[in-house]
């Protein structure tokens, strides 16, 4: 019978569970992850630290379950609405005042982009209708605008901007495919039309994304 691995990355820990084909959990394990906080509502994490925690929790859960690794038929990831910034070759880039490239994740509860959020909401763009009428500073677009305005060197050097869940998929498989759920709910992708609204990005100051 096939077995499945579920991995959930929250704010403070990474959890892995092994399940049988009926959904019964056979074993689970958890590893803590580091969180850095600074003045200005800055909250950051490290994609390398999170991946190490995911791997350690996974190895422990699989070992406890008694299931052979080759019997794992599928892996599912979920994670917080956190922005991962990677440079060429997948190296982490600094995204805050510390200048530490290991701190390359703007965590969901980071509110550094409150002013950018206000400006985006004042734009009145139709795309906002699909996120409840107003965007939140915990979504990815305001965070990207903050980076473009405050750390242009990082923004311009970035190879990939990823939701944390999509980063985990890429790290596990090498695939750059994005979850339609994450980009629709957190990045203003118009899933019902299978497109991005380029005019929206240009109006709010993220024309570079529209040019990609």
Report pLDDT digits (tens) over 111-151. Answer: 999 999 999 999 999 999 999 999 999 999 999 999 999 99
Residue pair 135/142 in contact (Cβ under 8 Å)? The answer is yes
Domains, the chain, with CATH or none: 3-211 (3.30.420.40)
Neighbours of 163 (CB within 10 A): 24
Percent of the chain with pLDDT over 70: 100
113, 49, 34, 44: which is closest to 82 by C-alpha?
44
Helix axes 180-187, 140-150, angle to 10 degrees: 70
The whole-model pTM stands at 0.95
Q: What DSSP character marks residue 137?
A: T
Question: Three-class SS string for 179-203?
Answer: CHHHHHHHHCCEHHHCECCHHHHHH
β-sheet bridge partners, residue 5? 18, 75
Extended strands (E) in 157-204: 158-163
Extended strands (E) in the chain: 3-9, 13-19, 25-32, 36-38, 42-45, 72-79, 83-87, 105-106, 158-163
Distance between alpha carbon 63 and the CA centroid of its chain, in Å? 28
Summarised one tens digit per residue, pLDDT across range 27-42 is 999 999 999 999 999 9
Summarised one tens digit per residue, pLDDT across range 58-90 is 999 999 999 999 999 999 999 999 999 999 999
């Amino acid at each position: 019978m096939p077995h499945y691995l579920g991995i959930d990355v929250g704010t403070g820990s990474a959890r892995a569970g092994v399940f049988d084909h009926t959904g019964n959990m056979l074993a689970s394990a958890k590893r803590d992850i580091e969180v850095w906080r600074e003045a200005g509502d800055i909250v950051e994490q490290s994609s390398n630290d999170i991946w190490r925690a995911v791997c350690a929790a996974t190895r422990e859960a699989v070992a406890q379950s008694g299931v052979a690794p080759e019997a794992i038929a599928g892996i599912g990831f979920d994670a917080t609405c956190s922005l991962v910034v990677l440079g060429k070759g997948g190296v982490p880039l600094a995204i805050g005042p510390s200048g530490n490239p290991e701190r390359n994740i703007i965590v969901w509860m980071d509110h550094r982009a409150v002013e950018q959020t206000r400006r985006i909401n004042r734009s009145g763009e139709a795309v906002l209708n699909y996120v409840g009428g107003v965007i939140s500073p915990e979504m990815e677009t305001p965070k990207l605008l903050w980076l473009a305005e405050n750390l242009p060197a990082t923004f311009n050097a970035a190879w990939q901007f990823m939701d944390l869940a999509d980063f985990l998929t890429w790290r596990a498989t090498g695939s750059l495919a994005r979850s339609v759920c994450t980009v629709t709910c957190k990045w203003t992708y118009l899933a019902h039309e299978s497109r991005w609204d380029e005019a929206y990005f240009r109006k709010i100051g993220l024309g570079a994304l529209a040019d990609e």
